Amino acid sequence: MRRLLACVLGVGFSANGLMMLVGPTRRYRSIPGVAETGALNDHRVCAIGVAYVVAGVALVRLALRHTEQSAAHAGKTFLALHAAVRRCDSVTRPEHANQLLADVATVFLPPLLALWIPVAIALRHNVNEGEER
């Protein structure tokens, strides 16, 4: 039952996130009450869409593979995709280009570090195994 629930939620979250990424304005206007919370911010809608897609995929992976590593992968994936959304903003909207330098430490460096950590652990593990032989 838990696996089925994880799959259903995962597919729903992923579909919602994809709608946010493909049509942020349409998705923003289609949810009752959201427009009354403030002005549309395309970047925010896309970033939230990325989070929904990542959470959905992690739930489906958890259900199908039954591994807790899904959460770690989800975190890294969200950080990397959020950085990609920010980079796309700077390309498609010149007014966002000046923000790129400010985003290096807060948006681009964290996913690089998150991706580097397991590589460093694996390399260290391989080196230690080599010493034991």
Domain ranges of the chain: 2-132
Tell me the CA distances in angstroms from 33 to 23, 29, 30, 43, 94, one per residue in order.
Answer: 18, 9, 9, 19, 31
Model pLDDT, residue 25: 93
- Binned at pLDDT 50, 70 and 90, residue 18 comes out as very high
Rounded to the nearest integer, the mean pLDDT of the chain is: 82
So what's the pLDDT on residue 14? Answer: 93
CA distance 73 to 21: 20
* Per-residue confidence (pLDDT) for residue 105, from 0 to 100: 80
Is the entire prediction scored with pTM above 0.85? no
Question: Does 27 have pLDDT greater than 80?
Answer: yes
**Higher pLDDT pick, 58 / 128:** 58
